[in-house]
Structure 1
Amino acid sequence: MFLPNNRKMHPSSFIERKNRFILRCQLTETKQEITVHLQDPGRLKELLIPNNTIYVSYHDQPHRKTKWTAEMITKPDSDMLISLRSTLPNQLMKHALQNKALSDFNHLDYKKQEFTYGGSRWDFLLQGENKPYLLEVKSVTLEKNRIGYFPDAPTKRGAKHVEELTSIREQDIYQTGILFVCQREDIKSVQPADWIDPAFAHVLHKAKEAGVDVRARSCKVALNGITLGEQIPVQI
């Protein structure tokens, strides 16, 4: 499954991160310094290195405080691209689920995106032969020695979602699942980052024990779009 990118990509050099969602970069072509919106709230310390190449897109919209958006970044000392758009995995998964492009989810029918149940909003509602299925998608960008780790920063909201999915699964009304989407091609397995957020690692382990599906997929990122990769193991 390939999700095209129709935005024009402008290469730039990273200068500094002013806060969680704002970067300062310099356009490669014009040398102009620009303020760039960053979707990904993770730490990204291994990627946001001075002079590393970031591809940005321009948006001339009146309501926007910043006209530029960070789209992807190169892995240091490499030309491999990593997506910085945290909403991209959900867009990719929507297309994949609707077109039954995921072999491990082909037995389920796509019903709805952003479905509210139990006081929380879930990424996808699917329908199985006997029960409906709630699926939550998590974006992975942190990599060490070809292992992807989540989360990149402590996430109370993420842990709460996992606990709720576990509770819903134990009620036996819905099936539930978590899908880690790695927005880079060099990851061969996924693990919880227990040194960053031990609470998340603990509730994820409990979720798997309770029967919550925990899966992961790799992706290949290019300037013209992102391609869904193979299923990879989650080690908990």
Structure 2
Amino acid sequence: MIPYSPDLIKARFINRPNRFIIKCELTETKEVVEAHLADSGRLLELLLPGKMVFLRAVDDPKRKTKYSAVIVERENGMGWVSLNAMLPNQLAVIAVKEGMISKLKDWTYVRSEYKKGSSRWDLLLSHPDGRQMVVEVKGATLIKDGDGYFPDAVTKRGAKHVRELGEIAKEPHWEAALLFVAQRDDIKSIKPADHIDPDFGKAMREAEKAGVKLLGCRCHVGLEGIKVIGEIDVSV
């Protein structure tokens, strides 16, 4: 588990002035504050006026905001969704090390942030037979009828990376994987959001044909922290 601060601050979402800032009203004091949002996705279904969010205080004179957004209540109010796009990479490392991804059980974590070709990849893994694997990690929060979708906004950079994975998968002694980490526990599977970014969906289908492993896992999110709880299917 990746723990949260024990002193989370309850608030209500007001609006989102820009991609990385949300404005909230603190429940206890009614003070209106700005908080840093470490997720550039649209989050249109989650960040609605009046929605409950939890913040953590940040004591850093270099920061423009004194708070960071941690979690937001789900659409139905029956659980939580992580608002930190930096966590999926850390959760992916934990999932690999603990053997929670069946197709990666024979692989060993080597390092994060590995440069190969023209891109930097989230994870580098190794296999006892000498093969190596690069893994691109994507955090997912968008859901409809139990299915998770990625992306929730057009991502040309994301599609480019997926196509590069396809090229790496064709190289001798190299493998490639695209790992989706659902930052909520009510997602049953992951699919490309063709209705939002058809090019990303096309890139995923091309990558699968090229041999890229499409993997997924979901996480339980609570007031105490976030942890991977199991695999989910990824289909194209």
Q: TM-score, normalised by structure 2?
A: 0.96
Matched residues in 2 for 1:42 and 1:113: separation?
A: 23
Number of the residue aligned with 1:64:
63
Give matches, 1:127-206, under 5 Å.
127-128=126-127, 129-206=129-206
How far, CA to CA, are the matches of 1:71 and 1:96 in structure 2?
A: 21
Structure 1, residues 112-151: CA drift from partner, whole Å, max 9, x if none? 1100110211000000123111011100000000000000
Are residue 53 (structure 1) and residue 52 (structure 2) matched? yes
- 1:88 matched to 2:87? The reply is yes
**Structure 2: which amino acid aligns with 1:64?**
R
Report which stretch shifted further, 29-38 or 171-180: 171-180
User: Residue by residue, what CA displacement relative to the aligned partner does 1:13-45 show, whole Å, maximum 9, x if unpaired?
Assistant: 000110111111000111110011111111111
* Segment of structure 1 superposing worse, 97-106 or 24-33: 97-106
Do the aligned partners of residues 115 and 93 (structure 1) sit closer, same or farther apart at CA in structure 2, a change above 3 Å counting?
Answer: same
Structure 2 unaligned runs (5+)? none
- Do the aligned partners of 2:5 and 2:56 also contact (CA within 8 Å) in 1? no
> SS in structure 2 opposite 1:159?
helix
The aligned counterpart of 1:213 is 213
Counterpart for residue 109 of structure 1: 108
Contact 2:114 2:121 in 1 (8 A): yes
Q: How far 1:231 moved relative to its partner?
A: 1.1
Deviation at 1:100, TM superposition (A): 3.5
The alpha carbon displacement at 1:7 in A equals: 5.0
Identity %: 42
1:21-36 paired onto structure 2 within 5 Å: 21-36=20-35
Amino acid in structure 1 at the alignment position of 2:96: L
> Contact 2:100–2:231 at 8 Å: present in 1 too?
no
Q: State the number of aligned residues.
A: 235
Please report how far the alpha carbon of residue 173 of structure 1 lies from its aligned counterpart in structure 2 after TM superposition: 3.7
Aligned counterparts of 1:6 and 1:25: Cα–Cα separation in 2 = 18
Moved more, 145-154 or 102-111: 102-111
Other structure's SS at 1:171 match: coil
